[in-house]
Amino acid sequence: MVVVVPTYDEATTLPTTLARLRAAVPEAHVLVVDDGSPDGTGRIADALAADDPAVDVLHRAGKQGLGSAYVAGFGWALERGARVVVEMDADGSHQPEELPTLLAALDGPQDPALVIGSRWVPGGRVVHWPRHRELLSRAGNTYTRLALGMPVHDATAGFRAFRADVLAGLPLADVASQGYCFQVDMAWRVVRTGGTVLEVPITFVERSEGRSKMSRAIVREALVRVTLWGLERQARAAATTVRRLGRSSPT
C-alpha cells in the first residue's frame, strides 16, 4: 500500500501528519509529492525519508497542481506494484487514525473499487469550518450528484483509497482536472467503468496551521467542468434513446 501525500508549503504540518500516519498504519509506504514548496517542505520531507525507509519523496519543479501531483504519485505507486493507493492531505484535515476504516471497507464484502472518507454521509462531520464553507461544499456535491447521476455524496473529498488494479485500468494520462474537480473526475471515471464507490464517514478537521488552497479559480473550474460533463452525459443518454426508438419503430 502506498499513501500519496501531495505538498505545497506544508512545512509546519507534514512531520506531525507523517508521524501519525506511520503510527496508525505501520505497514503503509508513504510518498510525499512536493511541488517545489518555497517554505522548504521538500527538504523536511527528505529529512523524514532519510530517517524512515517507508517514506519516499518525489520532487517536482514548481507548483503544477493537485491533480497532476496525484497522477504522478499514482504512477509511482503502480510502477512499484502497490495493491492499494491512498490519497491523503498533509495539513492534518484528514485524520490518519481513520485510515484503517477506509482500508477495512476496501477489503469488505461489497468489493468496492474506491472508498471515500465522506463528510456528508450519516456519521460524517466537519470541525471548525465556517458555515459558508459547509454550505458551499454541500451545495457543490449535491449539484455534482444531480448533474452526473453519480451516487456519491462527497465527490470532492480527498481522503480516499483505490484498488490499484482499478487505477491501472483508468486513462490517467488523460486527466487534466485540478483541485476539487480532480476528485470528482476520478470518482466519476470509476463509476463509468462499472466500479463501486463506497463512502465511509469521517471527521474532517479544518487545518489550524498554514493557509487553505481553496480559491475562486478552483471552485469555478469544478463548476464549469461538472456542468460540461453533465451536458455530455445528457446528450449521450438522448442519443441512446433515439437509437432505441429507431430500432423499435415499425418499418
CATH numbers and ranges of domains, the chain: 2-248 (3.90.550.10)
Q: Which of 114, 7, 115 lies closest to 65 in space, CA to CA?
A: 7
- What is the predicted pLDDT for the residue at 178? 78
The position carrying cell 490517467 is 172
CA distance 135 to 247: 46
Tens digits of residue pLDDT in 149-190:
999 999 999 999 999 999 999 999 888 787 779 999 999 999
- What is the predicted pLDDT for the residue at 179? 75
- What is the predicted pLDDT for the residue at 22? 97
- Are the beta carbons of 155 and 138 closer than 8 angstroms? no
- What is the predicted pLDDT for the residue at 247? 75
Tens digits of residue pLDDT in 37-57:
999 999 999 999 999 999 999
- What is the predicted pLDDT for the residue at 237? 77
Local mean pLDDT, 10-residue blocks, the chain (251 residues): 97 97 97 97 98 98 92 97 97 96 96 97 95 93 95 96 96 84 94 96 82 68 85 82 72 53
- What is the predicted pLDDT for the residue at 73? 97
Beta carbons within 8 Å of 178's beta carbon, 6+ residues apart: 65, 66, 67, 68, 218, 221
CA distance 117 to 103: 10
Query: What is the amino acid identity at position 231?
Result: L
Count of other CB atoms within 10 angstroms of residue 123: 11
- Global pTM? 0.90
